Amino acid sequence: MVARLVLATRNPHKVVELRPILLSAGVTVELVGMDQFPDVLDVVEDGLTFAANAAKKAREVAQATGLPAVADDSGLCVDALNGMPGVFSARWAGLHGGDRANVELLLAQLGDVADADRAAHFACAAALALPSGDERVAEGRIDGLVIRAPRGEGGFGYDPIFTPVGSSLTLAEIPAAEKNVISHRSQAFRALAPALRDLVVP
């Protein structure tokens, strides 16, 4: 019997992205998103670190659903902005700003910053919580640069303006299979995989 695992998000992109990452890490589960649980309230992400937010989301969803839950919190940390938007990445342009508004605001804020000074990294914390209260957290990171205009149709969030170190392509231009190998989210969930295999997989 395949274990059911809840990903604490209503973002279908994240569910689709995580399935092959877990499979390639040897974790065979039935991964479902929060759209399967419409009566469960969204978790308020009020932590000041990615790890705190991820752990809170996983913990509250595990308690609400009675199933093992995983969650992640991730964001873009720009050196020239002292590590911001960081944990505020998803709402950088306001609570209802959306991806396009967030990207446009960030590019405007970096308008006078020289290309050589646009270093940034994507960070991700991935958390696993069981209804019993057991928890694990792992982290991942990918370094690169913020470019001056969006490129690519893939990915989401800030992917179209971020080129990883060693690549001229943005994360939105890199094929999904390749992105799933190098991304910050992939790194975090791969680091979490041993705990998933030990605590969730039958």
Q: Which residues are catalytic?
A: 73
Lookup result for tokens 């469960």: 40
Contacts of 105 (CB under 8 A, 6+ apart): 92, 93, 97
Q: How far apart are CA 151 and CA 160, in angstroms?
A: 5
C-alpha pair distances (Å), 109 with each of 29, 105, 158: 42, 6, 14
Judge whether 17 and 176 are in contact, CB under 8 Å. yes
